Amino acid sequence: MELSIGAIAVIAVNAAGLETARSIVASLEGAQLHGRIGRVDACDVPFDETTAHVRTLFEQGIAVIGVCAAGILIRAVAPLLVNKRAEPPVLAVSPDGASVVPLLGGHHGANRLAKRVAAALGGHPAITTAGDVALGLALDDPPRGWKVGNPAVAKPVAAALLAGEPVRLTVEAGPAGWLKAPGLGDSGAYGIRVTDQSVDSDDTLVLHPPVLALGVGCARGATAEDVKALVEATLADAGLSRQSVAVIASLDLKADEPAIHALAADLQVPVRFFTPAELEERAPRLATPSDVVFAETGCHGVAEGAALAAAGDQGQLVVPKAKSPVATCAVARSPLGIRPNRVGRPRGKLFVVGIGPGGAAERTFDASAAIAQSTDLVGYKLYLDLIEDISAGKIRHAGAMKAEEVRVRQSLDLAAEGKVVSLVCSGDAGIYAMATLVFELIDKENRPDWNRIDVTVVPGISALQAAAARAGAIINHDFCAISLSDLLTPWPHIERRIQAAAQGDFVVAFYNPVSHRRREQLPSARDILLAHRPATTPVVLARNVGRPGERIVVTTLAQLDPDQVDMLTVVLVGNSESRTMTQAGKVWAYTPRGYAQKWQDVPDTVTSSLPHDSKELP
CB-based closest residue to ligand SAH:
427
Gap between the terminal Cα atoms of the chain: 42
Q: Toward ligand SAH, which CB reaches closer, 317 or 572? A: 572
131: left (phi over 0), alpha (psi -120 to 50) or beta: alpha
Q: Among residues 137, 567, 577, 593, which is the contact residue for ligand SAH, using CB under 6 A? A: 567
The span from the CA of 249 to the CA of 274, in Å, is 8
Q: Among residues 32, 111, 512, 580, which is the contact residue for ligand SAH, using CB under 6 A? A: 512
Burial class (CB in 10 A: 0-12, 13-18, 19+), 546: buried
Binding residues among 196-215 for ligand SAH as defined by CB under 6 A: none
- The amino acid occupying position 525 is A
Cβ contact 103:73 at 8 Å = yes
For Cα atoms 231, 193, 161, give the angle at the middle one, nearest 5 degrees.
Answer: 145
Q: Residue 292 belongs to what H/E stretch?
A: helix 291-297
Q: Does 433 bind ligand SAH (CB under 6 A)?
A: yes
Q: Among residues 299, 542, 554, 560, which is the contact residue for ligand SAH, using CB under 6 A? A: 542
CB of 461 to ligand SAH, least distance (A): 8
The span from the CA of 150 to the CA of 206, in Å, is 6
Q: Does 545 bind ligand SAH (CB under 6 A)?
A: yes
The span from the CA of 395 to the CA of 346, in Å, is 18
Q: Does 285 bind ligand SAH (CB under 6 A)?
A: no
Q: Toward ligand SAH, which CB reaches closer, 66 or 513? A: 513
Q: Does 431 bind ligand SAH (CB under 6 A)?
A: yes
142: left (phi over 0), alpha (psi -120 to 50) or beta: beta
Q: Which residues of 77-115 are buried (b: 16+ CB within 10 A; e: fewer)?
A: beeeeeeeeebbbbbbbbbebebbbbbbbbbbbbbbbbe
Candidate ranges 36-44, 196-204, 313-321, 430-438; the one touching ligand SAH (CB under 6 A):
430-438
Q: Does 546 bind ligand SAH (CB under 6 A)?
A: yes
CB of 536 to ligand SAH, least distance (A): 24
Q: What are phi and psi of 122, to 5 degrees?
A: 70, 25
| DSSP per position, 374-404 | -SEEEEEHHHHHHTGGG-TTSEEEEE-TT-H
Q: Toward ligand SAH, which CB reaches closer, 240 or 570? A: 570
Residues belonging to the chain: 618
Q: Among residues 243, 537, 569, 578, which is the contact residue for ligand SAH, using CB under 6 A? A: 569
CB of 346 to ligand SAH, least distance (A): 29
Q: Among residues 54, 205, 350, 425, which is the contact residue for ligand SAH, using CB under 6 A? A: 425
> How far from the centroid of its chain's Cα atoms is residue 382's Cα?
23
Cβ contact 39:13 at 8 Å = yes
Q: Does 432 bind ligand SAH (CB under 6 A)?
A: yes
CB of 546 to ligand SAH, least distance (A): 5
Q: Does 426 bind ligand SAH (CB under 6 A)?
A: yes
Q: Toward ligand SAH, which CB reaches closer, 380 or 588? A: 380
Q: Does 521 bind ligand SAH (CB under 6 A)?
A: no
Q: What are phi and psi of 352, to 5 degrees?
A: -100, 105
CB of 386 to ligand SAH, least distance (A): 9
Candidate ranges 323-331, 336-344, 421-429, 555-563; the one touching ligand SAH (CB under 6 A):
421-429
Q: Does 357 bind ligand SAH (CB under 6 A)?
A: yes
CB of 460 to ligand SAH, least distance (A): 7
CB of 404 to ligand SAH, least distance (A): 11
User: Where along the sequence are the contacts to ligand SAH (CB under 6 A)?
Assistant: 357-358, 425-428, 431-433, 462-463, 511-513, 542-547, 567-570
